[in-house]
Chains A and B, each alone.
Chain A
Amino acid sequence: MAGESGHGAQTSGEYIAHHLQNLQVCKVDSEWVWNHCAGNPMAINVDSMFFSVILGLVFVFIFRGAAKKASAEKPGKMQAFVEIVIDFIDSSVKDTFHGKSSLIAPLALTIFVWVFLMNLMDLIPVDWLPMLGGAIGVPYLKVVPTTDVNITFGMSIAVFFLILFYSIKNKGIGGFIGELTLHPIAPPMKGVGLIAAPFIIAFNFILESVALLAKPLSLSLRLFGNMFAGELIFILIALLGVWQLPLHFGWAVFHVLIVTLQAFIFMMLTVVYLTLASEEH
């Protein structure tokens, strides 16, 4: 509730805007300043990075802990849980990607668990952590990293570079360029049609480039859009006073589905893109 959120009297608009504001730091005139960084391309969203890295570390500690104690004979409960997740990822990857790669499955695991944990932050009531932050002097706190387009874009760009890397590794530079220029319309290689070839190649290149660039863009915007919308609805529900309790519960239950689904979709599409990149078609 706006009035109870500990930031004094706020209108609903201010309340929402406050919740959607990242804690930012940037360098202005060789001095680090907080929260006056709107539009500054060198700014860093401290809260997004903080929670993202913390959750990444949570993933690493849980799974590394299980991996260190992993034994074939007597798996502990934690190991059993971790193995279920890994087995799930492994079978999902194997269904799609048939080559041999020591990267894709761990990549998929990291993406799935990490994105899942980041999405899961959405289920913490929207005021708790910002209030706690306010109490220790942090003016803004956006706790769900995946509602920050920088975070989802950062991940999808890493995936994008992996796509480029795999394409070139498996098809060679020539194969990759050919893929960009010789589809979907095969340019004529001899005769009078040769005159039209450069145009066809240019057309193909534009089409294929858009298709290629759309991959990371759609990947990140899908996750960002879903999580941002979900977070916004949580914020709106939080404005409703006492009625937020049943509504929040209902939306949270529904959101559990979205949280898991979006993490899975992000992972699965990454695997599919990398599969496409490493297979001839």
Chain B
Amino acid sequence: MDINMTLIGQSIAMLVFVWFCMKFIWPPIMTAIEERQKEIADGLAAAERGQQSLDKAKAESDEIVADARKQATQILDQAHARANEIVAEGKADGVKERERQLAAATAEVEQETNRAREELRGQVSAIAVASAEKILRREIDAKAHEDILSKLAAEL
């Protein structure tokens, strides 16, 4: 318990250790800590910047997608309109074609009818002549009545 030279010894030891700590322990560790703090701060700032540019890029891409969607809708609308147009055109063409063919068919039928009628007329007259001939051969000379007969044939 008595005070003795240990006191001085301890004081000297303490000053030596404090000096050593001040020179060789504190500065390098503090440097490392501060360096790391700076790096972390820089890293956080970089992350912040990255986040911002990501946000910007996202906004841009959203815009682009919205544009594309709008364009696509437009194109689709146009295509629909065009398709409707084409269908309408086709319909109109069909109607026209049908009318044309109908007209053509009608004309042909008429023509055919007329031709058949002509032929029929010819045949009827021929039959009439033939039957008249048969009748007259028995009764009259063909030669004598030929003018009457041909006149008849012309009238038919």
Contacts and interface: CB of A to CB of B under 8 A. Distances in A.
Contacts, number: 135
B29 interface: yes
Interface string A89-106: 010000000000011011
Contact of A68 (B18, B21, B28, B30): B28
Interface residues of B, number: 31
Interface string A147-166: 01111011101100000000
Nearest to B2: A39
A227 B63 CA distance: 73
Contact of B22 (A26, A102, A157): A102
A52 B26 contact: no
B29 A70 contact: yes
Given A72-B32, A158-B11, A60 B2 contact: no
Contacts of A158: 11, 14-15, 18
Does more than half of chain A's interface fall in helix, strand or loop, or is it mixed? helix
Contacts of A86: 26, 29-30, 33
A45 B4 contact: yes
Interface residues of A, number: 53
Given A49-B13, A158-B14, A43 B25 contact: no
A30 interface: no
Interface string B85-96: 000000000000
B18 A107 contact: yes
Nearest to A26: B4
Chain B CB within 10 A, most for which of A24, A86, A110, A151: A110
A37 B4 contact: yes
A70 B28 contact: yes
Given A45-B4, A86-B33, A102-B22, A110 B28 contact: no
B148 interface: no
Given A52-B13, A56-B17, A106-B18, A63 B5 contact: no
Interface in A132-183: 145, 148-151, 153-155, 157-158
B39 interface: yes
Contacts of B25: 60, 63-64, 67, 106, 109
A41 B3 contact: yes
Interface in A21-37: 24, 26, 37
Contacts of B10: 48-49, 52, 145, 150-151, 153-155
Given A114-B17, A151-B10, A106 B4 contact: no
A40 B33 CA distance: 48
A251 to B, nearest CB: 23
Nearest to A154: B10
A41 B4 contact: yes
A154 B4 contact: no
A26 B6 CA distance: 11
B119 interface: no
B34 to A, nearest CB: 8
Given A106-B21, A114-B17, A49 B9 contact: yes
Contact of A154 (B7, B18, B24): B7
Nearest to A48: B6
B133 to A, nearest CB: 135
B35 interface: yes
Interface stretch (A75-83, A239-247, A257-265): A75-83
B8 interface: yes
Given A67-B29, A107-B22, A150-B10, A60 B17 contact: yes
Interface of B: 1-11, 13-15, 17-18, 20-22, 24-26, 28-33, 35-36, 39
13 contacts: A44-B4, A44-B9, A67-B25, A70-B31, A79-B29, A86-B33, A90-B30, A107-B22, A150-B7, A153-B7, A154-B7, A158-B11, A158-B15
Interface of A: 24, 26, 37-45, 48-49, 52-53, 56, 59-60, 63-64, 66-68, 70-73, 75, 79, 82-83, 86-87, 90, 102-103, 105-107, 109-111, 114, 145, 148-151, 153-155, 157-158
